[in-house]
């Protein structure tokens, strides 16, 4: 079974090698994918100048590096280390995840300049504003847990439009001070996409020249960021981390069908010409996607203005298959255009 799985991964990689750009070889420590099979793609994260991998491994979500699915700390550390061996050099975490020590232990001994760390602190806790002293304390704890002297990008997380002015007036000054102290390098802000599906907060944030990086929700079910976030970010050379590429509605055919039914009832999509039992079956073909997840990652990765696509997993197999997906070429133009038409009117749905 392992041999068959590896052969499948290698075949998928080879289908896309002629279209990959700016590839940097990585040395692997063994596993289902071998050194001759894979090279990672890197890009410059906007005006930060940071060279980051096409995928960023997140430690939140439903898996939290496998800690929510019964994996041990040792297994989670091995997952992070394996991601690095496969060329992933961008790791996202948060104080609230309570697993930053796992990332720190996994990356211990690796030259610090070879990977990029992103962490976060909520601006509000249960609707109560977080004060500047708390932001500093949480940043200091993250430094200790991650076993590092600095964090490359520090975000204020899950900021909503009604909280934005408080963030700018009260919390940005402490971030600027931490940057002066060398404890963070760049300022980031993340939206709460499951409730702000039209990106009201990020649209406002990008009017200011404060943020070096934004974390935005974007997937083929909700493409609104293409119009209201990505152009402004590109104009200001702001780095873009794409979250929500694959969420609950894209995790299985049953959940996809439930999502499509909901959107059809809202009158924002027409399901009349979709296959009933496999509604997005047109995506799966020898020249197209190998799975719904494969299509979702490739759709986001090849969107102009997106620098890196975030993913979370507790499975080594999923880690490797996700990397295979991100390194494959763009989806066929006709498939992308069909997705764009089908979901063009969706603005109130995150895919979660």
Q: Residues 274-312: pLDDT tens digits?
A: 877 788 999 999 999 999 999 999 999 999 999 999 999
Model confidence at 34, pLDDT cuts 50, 70, 90, reads low
Q: What is the pLDDT of residue 188?
A: 99
Pairwise pLDDT comparison (133 vs 248), residue with the higher score: 133
Closest among 222, 277, 270 to 246, alpha carbons compared: 222
Whole-number Å distance between alpha carbons of 215 and 157: 9
Which of 24-33, 71-80, 125-134, 148-157 is predicted with the least confidence, judged by mean pLDDT? 24-33
pLDDT, position 18: 33
72 contacts 85 by C-beta, under 8 angstroms: no
4 has a pLDDT exceeding 70: no
Structure tokens at 335: 């498939």
Residue carrying the six token digits 């995506």: 283
Return mean pLDDT, the chain: 90
Query: Using one digit for the tens of pLDDT, what is the confidence trace for 48-63?
Result: 999 999 999 999 877 8
Q: Write the DSSP symbol of residue 190.
A: E
pLDDT of residue 106: 97
What pTM, to 2 d.p., does this model score? 0.89
Across 71-89, average pLDDT: 94
* Distance from the Cα of residue 118 to its chain's centroid: 11
Pairing of strands 90-92, 116-122: parallel
Which CATH architecture describes the domain 2-342? Answer: Alpha-Beta Barrel (3.20)
d(CA 139, CA 178): 9
Instruction: Decide: 118 and 310 in contact? Cβ < 8 Å.
Output: no
Determine the Cα–Cα distance for residues 304 and 243; give it in Å rounded to an integer.
15
Query: Where does the pLDDT of residue 247 fall: very low under 50, low under 70, confident under 90, or very high at 90 and above?
Result: confident
- Does pLDDT of 30 surpass 80? no
Given a contact cutoff of 8 angstroms between Cβ atoms, the answer to whether 74 and 314 are in contact is no
Q: What is the pLDDT of residues 200-241, one digit of tens each?
A: 999 999 999 999 999 999 999 999 999 999 999 999 999 999
């Amino acid at each position: 079974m392992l041999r068959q799985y590896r052969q499948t991964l290698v075949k998928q990689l080879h289908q896309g090698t002629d279209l990959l750009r700016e590839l940097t070889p990585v040395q692997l420590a063994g596993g289902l994918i071998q050194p001759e099979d894979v090279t990672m793609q890197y890009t410059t994260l906007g005006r930060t100048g940071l060279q980051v991998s096409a995928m960023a491994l997140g430690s939140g979500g439903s898996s939290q590096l496998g800690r929510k699915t019964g994996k041990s700390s040792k297994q989670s550390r091995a997952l992070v280390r394996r991601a690095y061996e496969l060329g992933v050099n961008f790791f996202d975490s948060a104080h609230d995840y309570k697993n930053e020590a796992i990332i720190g232990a996994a990356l211990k001994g690796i030259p610090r300049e070879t990977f990029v760390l992103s962490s976060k602190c909520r601006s509000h806790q249960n609707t109560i504003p977080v004060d500047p002293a708390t932001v500093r304390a949480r940043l200091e704890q993250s430094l200790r847990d991650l076993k590092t002297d600095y964090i490359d990008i520090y975000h204020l997380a899950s900021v909503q439009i009604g909280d934005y002015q408080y963030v700018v007036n009260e919390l940005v000054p402490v971030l600027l001070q931490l940057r002066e102290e060398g404890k963070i390098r760049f300022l980031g802000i993340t939206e709460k996409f499951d409730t702000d599906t039209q990106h009201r907060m990020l649209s406002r944030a990008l009017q200011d020249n404060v943020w070096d990086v934004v974390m935005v929700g974007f997937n083929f079910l909700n493409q609104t960021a293409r119009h209201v976030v990505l152009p402004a970010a590109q104009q200001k050379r702001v780095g873009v981390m794409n979250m929500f590429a694959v969420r609950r509605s894209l995790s299985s055919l049953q959940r996809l069908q439930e999502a499509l039914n909901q959107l059809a009832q809202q009158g924002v999509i027409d399901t009349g010409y979709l296959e009933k039992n496999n509604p997005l079956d047109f995506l799966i073909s020898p020249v197209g996607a190998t799975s719904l997840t494969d299509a979702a990652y490739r759709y986001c990765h090849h969107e102009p203005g997106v620098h890196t696509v975030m993913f979370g997993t507790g499975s080594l197999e999923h880690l490797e298959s996700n990397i295979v997906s991100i390194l494959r070429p763009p989806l066929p133009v006709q498939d992308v255009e069909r997705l764009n038409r089908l979901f063009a009117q969706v603005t109130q749905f995150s895919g979660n």
